[in-house]
Structure 1
Amino acid sequence: MWSWAELPAARVVRLDAPDPDALTLSIDPLPEDAPAIATYFAAPAPSAAALVAEVLSQLETAAAGLYPAWLPGAEGITAGGAGVSAVRALAFRLASGSGHFGPFLAQLAETSLAGAARRPTRFAPEVRAAGLARVLAAGFRRSRAALLVHVPPGLTVAEEEALVSGCEWLAYRGELGMWLTGAPLLAVDRVEAMTVRRPATETAPVPLDVPQTAARALRFPAVAGMPHPASSAEKALEAALASREWARGRAWNQTHQSGPLTNPIRVDLLWRDERCVVEIDGPEHRVRGNFEADRRRDVQLQLDGFAVLRFTNAHVMTDTDAVVVQIERFLQDRRAGTFEGSRYA
């Protein structure tokens, strides 16, 4: 039995788990002993090179979304003017004291700052694989990174070989842990199998907030302190709150744990002093299992003294002002000690 910390880096292994989806859910929030883990939903690929190209493309998109978490000092730098020069200088400074390759990191920082569609890169796949693995790890303040790869069912012998060979290349070149789950491997027998040890808990894992929107998709947990890069609704709400003085004290994607035997609960937005939690729900939260898990989580938070305000993605995106007004009213009532006629302490 293996914990996340004990799983190998720079290798391809098969993780035996009775429920691959539960395995994915258990890494959001990331366990303290885990590397930075992104989840990749693989699709049949015609060759190992095609799989590698797709994974690198997805990792570049993820790196841009995670910016500036992986580039210390870049917070607050805006595109235009001296912004590009500033982030490039920060990238080279970071690279000088770390394992990052300066030119690659500088280009990635420039592209991330601009927020534009990814441009063709002049760097070889080997450079991109190593650089993106380091960026993923840095974004979560971890020393290494891994991909949890969901193997699709029904692969042909050639497709299974392409998947495993591509993962082996990424493990070697990027020093990534490539951990396979999902459908079993029926043709390739060179991948070691391991069983992941998960601690017994009193509560179910928290559903991921980012649904699988395409067959080939890479998703990753939220980074504490910032809206989830894959959530337009979280980013829109943060943009609306940023200039409002009453919104002080907010913290995105924080964890709360009721006790040592319970799973940490990741909440979208938290005002800890006011004990106010704001959740922003996408359509996946209407699925029966997720809906039930949300209700259990809400009850636990309420038992611990938190109020939970829930809004849908659509509500936030189409009527942001109304959402902001409702949050403001709740916080102001809490601060005044008049919420629901009771004294707030």
Structure 2
Amino acid sequence: MPSWAELPIGQVVRLDADPDAVALALDPLPDDAPAVVTYFAAEERSVADLAASVLRELDKAAIALFPAWLPGAEGIEGPSGVNVAAVQALALRRASVTGHFGPFLAELARRALTGAPSALAPEVRAAGLVRVLADSFGRARLAVLVRVPDGLGAAAREVLVAGCEWLAHRGRAGVWLAGAPLHDDRVRTIATPLPAAVGDAREAVPVPATADRAPAVAYPPVAGRPHPGSASERALEAALSARAWAGGRAWNQTYRPGPLDVPIRVDLLWERERCVVEIDGPDHRAPAKFAADRQRDVLLQLDGYAVLRFPDAQVMTDMDTVVRQIGQFLRNRRRAEG
């Protein structure tokens, strides 16, 4: 079985695994894997439409992840002329020493502050976005895991494969298909390096048919920050930042209970108090993820951690209760430690 590092970049392949099992195996991102973002495909009428959809979603992810891909831009916010000039200068300086295409990086930095659309060609954007997203997670390469929905007709499947080939070739990204079958001889199927415990968790909620949803991209968090795509994580951080007792917290950390254990990514950690807070979206109700959550909780509890879980709906609608319960637990732990 290949390692994640051996999965191809710059071409389209199909993974021989359930996409939910793949997602579990990639959270946290293995050391030998490229950065991976997930594209939830929907039916498109043409290759140009599919390319535009993918670029639009990758662009949203890159802007949400700013300034992870632009060191030195931390704390620069707002569309003032001074701020825009500062991030563009940083981008051009970074491009000069990293091989990024300077005009693309400078435009993306400006748009991260202003929200303006891109004026660059799709081919330029594809290559630039792939590099920027890989940089955001400290990786040299990027793979796009394309979740193929049920219900695609023959013409839509043809468009999807051709569009994925365009992205792989123009962006130099790995494009890994998983989900509904495509029946396309151009796409070879390869073995997927899943840990045994993850590979056995095959039962999952199916991806909705393409007519039921719009295309979207999901991406990992950056260590030390709330996930920019999670409104509940950002809201909880805003609430905690005003409380002195909440000091010592760290977002989206990777924790390994033992040298032979699979690493665990936790949403929010107070290491000294051995407290983990998890914010669960609707996807945590899927059987595979629910089972994985329980296994992670047991490993953390055996290592002395308490795991406090809150549905993201509760975080967004009853923040006072969530904050009060976290605070009560931390104060109890600190009193017990003397």
Compute the TM-score of the two structures, normalised by the length of structure 1: 0.88
The one-character-per-residue Cα deviations of 1:18-73 (angstroms, maximum 9, x if unpaired) are x2321122111111110010111212221111111100000011111111111111
User: For residue 198 of structure 1, what is the aligned residue in structure 2?
Assistant: 194
Change (3 A) 1:93 1:233: same
Give 3-state SS (helix, strand or coil) of 2:69's partner: coil
1:259 aligns with 2:255: no
| Counterpart-to-counterpart distance in 2, 1:307 and 1:317 | 22
User: For residue 76 of structure 2, what is the aligned residue in structure 1?
Assistant: 77
What 5-or-longer segments of structure 2 have no aligned partner? none
Contact kept, 8 Å, 1:281 with 1:311, in 2: the verdict is yes
1:14 aligns with 2:25: no
User: For residue 304 of structure 2, what is the aligned residue in structure 1?
Assistant: 305
Change (3 A) 1:203 1:331: farther
Give 3-state SS (helix, strand or coil) of 1:179's partner: strand
Give 3-state SS (helix, strand or coil) of 2:2's partner: coil
User: For residue 4 of structure 1, what is the aligned residue in structure 2?
Assistant: 4
Change (3 A) 1:268 1:58: same
Q: Which amino acid counterpart does residue 273 of structure 2 have in structure 1?
A: E
| Counterpart-to-counterpart distance in 1, 2:195 and 2:230 | 29
User: For residue 122 of structure 2, what is the aligned residue in structure 1?
Assistant: 125
Q: More displaced, 312-321 or 134-143? A: 312-321
Change (3 A) 1:286 1:164: closer
| Counterpart-to-counterpart distance in 1, 2:197 and 2:151 | 34
Change (3 A) 1:142 1:289: closer
Shift of 1:307: 1.0
The one-character-per-residue Cα deviations of 1:167-200 (angstroms, maximum 9, x if unpaired) are 11111111111111222222x3122221122233
Shift of 1:103: 2.2
User: For residue 64 of structure 2, what is the aligned residue in structure 1?
Assistant: 65
Contact kept, 8 Å, 2:38 with 2:147, in 1: the verdict is yes
What 5-or-longer segments of structure 1 have no aligned partner? 338-343
1:54 aligns with 2:53: yes
Change (3 A) 1:198 1:287: closer
User: For residue 106 of structure 1, what is the aligned residue in structure 2?
Assistant: 106
Shift of 1:202: 8.4
The one-character-per-residue Cα deviations of 1:126-169 (angstroms, maximum 9, x if unpaired) are 11101100111011000010101122234333222211111111
User: For residue 27 of structure 1, what is the aligned residue in structure 2?
Assistant: 26
User: For residue 341 of structure 1, what is the aligned residue in structure 2?
Assistant: none
Shift of 1:9: 1.0
Shift of 1:112: 2.1
Alignment RMSD? 2.4
Q: Which amino acid counterpart does residue 180 of structure 2 have in structure 1?
A: A
| Counterpart-to-counterpart distance in 2, 1:94 and 1:306 | 41
Give 3-state SS (helix, strand or coil) of 2:39's partner: strand
| Counterpart-to-counterpart distance in 2, 1:262 and 1:237 | 29
Give 3-state SS (helix, strand or coil) of 1:262's partner: coil
Give 3-state SS (helix, strand or coil) of 2:45's partner: coil
Shift of 1:288: 4.5
The aligned length equals: 330
Contact kept, 8 Å, 1:63 with 1:136, in 2: the verdict is yes
Shift of 1:235: 0.5
The one-character-per-residue Cα deviations of 1:200-246 (angstroms, maximum 9, x if unpaired) are 348988xx9xx989342211122211111111010111122234333
Change (3 A) 1:160 1:283: closer
Compute the TM-score of the two structures, normalised by the length of structure 2: 0.89
% identical equivalent positions? 61
- Aligned pairs for 1:143-162 within 5 A: 143-162=140-159
